[in-house]
Amino acid sequence: MTVSAVIIASGRATRLGDICKYKPKCLVPFEGVPFLRFLVFWLLNNGITDIVVTGSNESHAELIEKEIKDNFPASVRLVIEEYPRSTTWSTFVGVSKVKSEHTLLLTADNVWNLNLRHFIDTHLIRGADCSVLATSKKNVPNFGKVKLDNRSSRIISMWDPECVLPGTPVSTMGFYALRKQAFLEAVDLESDLYVERETMQKLLPNAWGVVNNKFFTDFGTPEGLRQLTKRSSLITKYFGKPISGRLS
């Protein structure tokens, strides 16, 4: 079964301050290569060819457009939001444009050591409306907010702010798989602001966690960016080396 991908790159990256004043976060370079190029070629090399990138006029979408035009095949497309309203809105914009019934959803500031084919196969075999890459490591943001059933890995709650519900506490890692129709039917653009806490919550009980305790980092904060810059070789290690120049 064909699977698409949506890369959310429309945020303003305010946590990074002046670092992203003149360029979007997804184009922050590592070893001279924009991060988006690593990410897209990782997907392409794993057989994901239908890729939608969301951008906004408030976060230099024209630079993302040039990166896509100069370096990627025509199956990689940019969808521009006039301004970024919420994570739910950005996700809706991207998911509504993919060609496949199932799509990966990922943020443009994370690096994972992930067997992508295993993640996709697990999602499809379960017939899930939503699959969430999760970690049980405690040194990550929002640890314990998501709860999994101890035996089945079915998600009990996508957002437990007080961390009081039973189940295995985990944190999400900015990587998901969605059944397109289920997501589009669940979303409420008038009220849903947070795609995890609100929209994905409505996909329960057919939402599942895939626990992965291997390497994961988020460079969406100044400290995260500093750490990844020091260990930038890990991006190539886990994503591979991107090709320079446009593919036909």
Task: Give me the long-range contacts of 228-232 (CB less than 8 A, separation at least 24).
Answer: 228/30, 228/111, 229/30, 232/30, 232/31
CATH number at residue 50: 3.90.550.10
Q: What is the DSSP letter of 221?
A: S
Q: Give the other-Cβ count within 10 Å of 146's Cβ.
A: 28
| Residue-level pLDDT at 245 | 56
Stretch 123-148: mean pLDDT: 94
| Residue-level pLDDT at 220 | 84
Distances (CA, A) of 231 to 28, 177, 225: 15, 28, 10
| Residue-level pLDDT at 99 | 96
The CA-CA-CA angle for residues 106, 235, 197, to 5°, reads 25
pTM greater than 0.85: yes
Residue 247 has pLDDT above 70, yes or no: no
For 22-67, the pLDDT digits (tens) are 788 899 999 999 999 999 999 999 999 999 999 988 778 999 999 9
| Residue-level pLDDT at 27 | 93
pLDDT category at 248 given cuts 50, 70, 90 is: very low
Average pLDDT, the chain: 91
Beta strand 51-56 with 3-8 is parallel
Q: Give the other-Cβ count within 10 Å of 10's Cβ.
A: 30
* Cβ-contact 9, 53 below 8 angstroms: yes
For 153-175, the pLDDT digits (tens) are 999 999 999 989 999 999 999 99
For 193-222, the pLDDT digits (tens) are 999 999 999 999 999 999 999 999 999 888
Higher-confidence position of 236 and 142: 236
Residue 201 structural domain: 3-233
C-alpha to C-alpha distance for 116 and 47, rounded to whole angstroms:
10
Higher-confidence position of 188 and 21: 188
In-domain check, residue 239: no
In-domain check, residue 78: yes
In-domain check, residue 216: yes
For 73-119, the pLDDT digits (tens) are 999 999 998 767 889 999 999 999 999 999 999 999 999 999 999 99
In-domain check, residue 219: yes
What is the tally of structural domains in the chain?
1
Rg (CA), the chain: 17
In-domain check, residue 243: no
User: Cα 188 to the chain's mean position, in Å?
Assistant: 20
pLDDT category at 246 given cuts 50, 70, 90 is: low
DSSP states along 82-148: SS---HHHHHHHHHTT-SSSEEEEEETTEEE---HHHHHHHHHHHT-SEEEEEE--SSSTTTTSEEE
In-domain check, residue 100: yes
